[in-house]
Each structure stands twice: as C-alpha cells, then as structure tokens.
Amino acid sequence: MQAIVASLAGTVFKVLVKPGDRVKAGEAVVIMESMKMEIPVETEADGIVQEVSVREGDFVNEGDPLVIVE
C-alpha cells in the first residue's frame, strides 16, 4: 500500500477520486490550495484507491495522509 501525503500545508480544495477508483502513475488525486494557488497531488504508482482520508475544505499539514492506494 502507498500513502499519498500532502507535500505542503494547506486546504483540500478538491478530492478527485473515491475508494475503488483505478489510478495511474502521475494522475492527480487531490487538489490542494495554499496561498491562493491550486496544487495537484499526484500518485506515484498505478493502483486502486483503498481509502480517502480527507474531505474538501479540510486543512492538512505537510506529510498528512490524503489517499491510500494499493
């Protein structure tokens, strides 16, 4: 399993996946908002989304898990 974590502190602007979705390496799974910029967070490997740990509007710190991919 791979945990996709926040690369910076900010607000979850949009969640693009749900449990059961197939994702490919490089695909954006969450869009973060920080300092009025939208930053996509991408998966590093192909897999299936097992868990989404955040909701839109949540504030997260750098390193917090966002999505679990198996």
Domains along the chain with CATH numbers = 2-69 (2.40.50.100)
For position 17, what pLDDT does the model report? 97
Task: Work out the number of other CB atoms within 10 angstroms of the CB of residue 57.
Answer: 11
Low-confidence ranges of the chain (pLDDT < 50): none
* Cβ contact 49:58 at 8 Å: no
For position 4, what pLDDT does the model report? 95
For position 37, what pLDDT does the model report? 94
For position 1, what pLDDT does the model report? 84
For position 52, what pLDDT does the model report? 97
pLDDT in tens, 61-70: 999 999 999 9
